[in-house]
Amino acid sequence: MKEQLRACILKGIEGCFADGTLTSGAVPAINVEKPAHAEHGDFATNVAMQMAKLERKAPRAVAEALVKKLAEASDLIQSVEIAGPGFINFFIKDSAWRKILTDIDRAGDGYGKSRVGAGKKVQVEFVSANPTGPLHIGHGRGAATGDAVASLLSAAGFDVQREYYINDAGNQMNTLGLSGLLRYKELLGEKIDFPENCYQGDYIKDIARDAITKHGDRFLKAPQEEGVAFFAKMGGDLILKGIDDDLQDFGIRFDNWFSEQSLFDEGKVTSAIAEMQEKGHIYEQEGALWFRTTAFGDDKDRVVVRSNGVTTYFASDIAYHRDKYARGFDWVIDVWGADHHGYVPRLKSVVQGLGRPADDLGIILVQLVSLLRDGQPVAMSTRSGEFVTLKEVVDEVGRDAARFFFLMRRSDSQLDFDLELAKRQSNDNPVYYVQYAHARIKSIFDTAKERGVEPNFSGVRLELLQTADDMSLIKKLSLYPEILEGAAVNFEPHRITYYLQDLAGEFHSFYNKSRVITPEEPELTQARLFLLHCVAVTLKNALTVLGISAPERM
């Protein structure tokens, strides 16, 4: 609707230029917004105020000239009025709003999707937890966010790939190997003073038991280096499989799993450093190699290779992001925990060092999750290293509730996740409230059939939808494409959860005040059924893009 109105305004401006009412010939960007108050119309624009200086006229004079032309520009507009210093308020014809229902029915599961992405290749890398332990609830929020952003971008016309970066190089893998070896020896009767810096969770004992089952006491007397390498590989593989299993149960599948170690094995770290040295972005000082990130706005330069020859994580990051762009991605999006916010400037520096605009890298920061039970805090971890896992949360509340709750707030804001609320089958539970709206519509259709009313939308008389509640529901449906596009390009899936709750609320209010099945008015019944059919389509599409089901019965 906004695009149609912008076209009308442009046509009106051109008409004013043609008859000499306006003379500058300059057309500013045309902003069309929804007024805060319904009495101010369906939409408003400040274009007259923007043009006033160019035209050397008062804003109201420009607005008056435009209003005369806008009345002739389209059958979309019911009426136009000038407000304040020169705002133009538009009231849209009910017939134009009703046409949206036909658009929804025709588009079906494509309603809301757009081509704004124009096939641009995008990679979304998310979760990427070290394969040193199971996923915890914080990883779950990052997983839900990354997956939803990828789906939103796909719906907006981007060509999207999901990637998991496996941090299988570095000290954490050696620590995992040592942890497994020591628990293995302990289980075989050796007295072990288990170091505090080793991984403490019971899953390490499970890995050790598995090794005993398969290999007996083979590593009891073997050189420690051999044992550490074995348990690092075995433990990492088992943990990674568990991570994949948990993510699949959470409804997430990756297109690619990328190994950090492969960057070293294939010489990509060395070649990336060499390229940056040739470009003058990496320099040597006191035996170490530094990236000149201050040249791109960072607060200090960053070490890439220490004076002892050991590469930093930053070296891997340089090689990894260089590799991403080499694979043909136009836009790379990383989903990180909020504790990594300090890394944003240095990674943006790398992108610019590669000769690309900084905005070719998008960073989504995901804040911590506070776990509650009926409003009371739940301990997230214990001294033994155990913590609340994603699997435990999904097993308790279900995939749909977990995903919805993780996506209910901006990713960079703190999230309270109440386990009991997520399980509650009442309107207090937002995911239940939304899903029940969809199921309730299906129940209405079942009731119609029981009463001998078969939905027949051929030639449906939409003009019979005349009440304020009818029109309010239609207008809410019309917002979905714009909200989806905004959620996609701004990486904000919470916009969809907000919209779903608003739409569900609008529907429940409509249902409580309006009769749908009216035997004495069969044509109105068909029109109302068609309206609810469009609500169900929109609810399902919005839930689906978040990876959440739209049940037909609850």
Q: How far is 135 from 335, CA to CA, in rounded Å?
A: 15
- Residues 276 and 161 reside in one and the same domain: yes
For residues 274-303, average pLDDT = 97
Which tokens belong to 90?
A: 């538009």
Residue 430: give the domain boundaries: 426-546
Q: What phi, psi does 350 have (nearest 5°)?
A: -60, -45
Cα(147)–Cα(127) distance, integer angstroms = 10
pLDDT of residue 406: 98
Whole-number pLDDT of residue 385: 60
CA–CA distance, 46 with 52 (Å, rounded to integer): 10
Both tokens of 54, joined, read: 């160019």
> For the chain, what is the mean pLDDT?
95
* Cβ partners under 8 Å of residue 42, min gap 6: 1, 34, 35, 90, 91, 92, 475
**Residues 474 and 488 both lie in one domain:** yes
With beta carbons less than 8 A apart as the criterion, state whether 143 and 135 touch.
yes
281 and 186 inside one domain: no
Q: What is the pLDDT of residues 139-155, one digit of tens each?
A: 999 999 999 999 999 99
Q: How confident is the model at residue 132 (pLDDT cuts 50, 70, 90)?
A: very high
Shared-domain flag, residues 493 and 478 = yes
- Please give the average per-residue pLDDT across 35-45, as a whole number: 90
Last residue of a domain, one of 190, 224, 250: 250
Answer whether residue 296 is part of any domain.
yes
Q: What is the pLDDT of residue 75?
A: 77
Helices (H) and strands (E) in the chain, counts: 20, 15
Strands (E), 419-507: none
For residues 156 and 175, state if they share a domain: no
Identify whether residues 285 and 351 lie together within a single domain: yes
The phi and psi torsions of 181 (rounded to 5 degrees) equal -65, -45
Tell me how many domains the chain contains: 4
CB burial of residue 392 (10 Å; 0-12, 13-18, 19+): middle
pLDDT (0 to 100) of residue 381: 66
Q: Are 433 and 537 contained in the same domain?
A: yes
Per-residue model confidence (pLDDT) at position 386? 63
CB contact set of 279 (below 8 Å; sequence gap of 6+): 353
Question: Do residues 300 and 206 share a domain?
Answer: no
Q: Looking at this protein, which amino acid is placed at residue 187?
A: L
Residue 408: inside a domain, yes or no? no
pLDDT score at 456? 92
Domain boundary among 250, 274, 300: 250
pLDDT for position 382: 53
What is the reported pLDDT for 431? 98
Q: Which of 76, 1, 80, 78 is nearest to 47 (CA)?
A: 80
Q: Of all helices (H) and strands (E), which one includes residue 288? A: strand 288-291
Q: Retrieve residue 7's tokens.
A: 């076209």
Residue 106, in any domain of the structure:
no
Q: With bands split at pLDDT 50, 70 and 90, how would you rate the model's confidence at 73?
A: low
Say if 115 falls within a structural domain.
no
Q: Specify whether 65 is located in the same domain as 193.
A: no
Convert the pLDDT of each residue in 294-346 to its tens digit.
Answer: 999 999 999 999 999 999 999 999 999 999 999 999 999 999 999 999 999 99
211 & 346 share domain: no
Mean pLDDT on 467-492: 97
Same domain, 232 and 274: no
Q: What is the pLDDT of residue 1?
A: 87
- The answer to whether residues 132 and 263 belong to one domain is yes
The CB density around residue 366, as the number of other CB atoms within 10 Å, is 26
pLDDT in tens, 225-243: 999 999 999 999 999 999 9
pLDDT exceeds 60 at position 353: yes
Using alpha carbons, list the distances in angstroms from residue 188 to 84, 194, 205, 223.
83, 14, 12, 16
